[in-house]
Amino acid sequence: MLNEALKKEISIYWWNMGYKKLDYKGNYKGYLEKRNIKISSIKHPFAKDVRGIRFKFGLSSSIVRLDTFDGKGDYNNVMALDKAIMLLLTLLGDKSIFNGGYGKEYKINWR
């Protein structure tokens, strides 16, 4: 199921000096590789039957880790991928628009 989610198309735009620029257009897998974001499957520390995904990436001199878990048995890999990319874009600090795998538009760092 994660492999299917990784094939979904996304696009990311950001603003530099007031001009909108296309940062990425392609699938999740390509963007994660471009940004060197590692993915691993994990289990919840207390409820062993609950599965999740760990995203890990370096930013400046820090390593950031995001764990997402299936709380109700309806785990959505696309939403987990969206959360990881939104976290990265938020930490980068630039104004950006991210069109996720379901076509939902997220505006990030719009003040």
Predicted TM-score (pTM) of this structure: 0.88
Q: What is the pLDDT of residue 59?
A: 86
Domain hosting 9: range is 2-108
Q: Which residue is listed with tokens 């392609």?
A: 26
Please tell me the total count of domains within the chain.
1
Provide the 3-class DSSP secondary structure of residue 67.
strand
Query: 33-85 pLDDT, tens per residue?
Result: 999 999 998 888 888 788 889 999 998 888 999 998 875 554 588 989 999 99
CB atoms within 10 A of CB 87: 17
Q: What is the pLDDT of residue 72?
A: 56
Average pLDDT over residues 91-107: 94
The two three-digit tokens of residue 111, written as one number: 């003040």
The SS3 of residue 75 is coil
Q: How confident is the model at residue 1 (pLDDT cuts 50, 70, 90)?
A: confident
